[in-house]
Amino acid sequence: MAGLLAANASVPTVNLTTDLFYRAIQTGFVPPYLPAAHRQNVVVVDAIVGTVATFARGGYDVVVDGVFAPWFLSPFRVLSERDHLTVSYVVLRPELGITVARATERAGDDELRDVDAITGMHGAFAQLGDLEGHAIDTSGLDAEQTSAEVRRILSSGRSRLG
């Protein structure tokens, strides 16, 4: 979906896949959903924010494609304020059964397929508090429909942080 969003953009746009940052860790990698991964996750988020900043300063819009829990948004807010950038946050949140089915059916050896981990992450995103307005239920949407809905939300401004 993020690839569609970036590829169909009307301005130069980068699709930044966060999995690439995690996969770059060759020794000492900890699955990011485990409590022991907190320090690693902070470093990876900082690397992602730095990359976003570099592309944005170069005139690109950036679609960050990954699992970003609300507690990792602070560096993006700082970036937005410091560089006067518009930063938006959209949570794609299908029903749990659909989330599990989509995750476990994904192709690729490195994809997260652990049902307990997926269920735990889904639960974390079910409690967004003041960010609840940033979530959309994508249960009945395919990738193209989801991309169109995200584009509509971005245009409306309702997903902006800051």
How does strand 61-65 pair with strand 13-17? parallel
Domain range for 102: 2-156
State the pLDDT at residue 102: 84
Residue 105 has what pLDDT? 79
Whole-prediction pTM: 0.87
pLDDT value at position 136? 94
CATH of the domain at 25: 3.40.50.300
Number of domains forming the structure of the chain? 1
The Cα diameter of the chain in Å comes to 43
Residue 49 domain-assigned? yes
Q: Which residue stretches of the chain are H helix?
A: 2-7, 19-23, 38-57, 74-83, 96-105, 115-125, 143-156
Please check whether residue 161 lies inside any domain of the structure: no
Whole-number pLDDT of residue 115: 83
pLDDT tens-digit profile of 71-89?
899 999 999 999 999 999 9
Judge whether 115 lies within some domain: yes
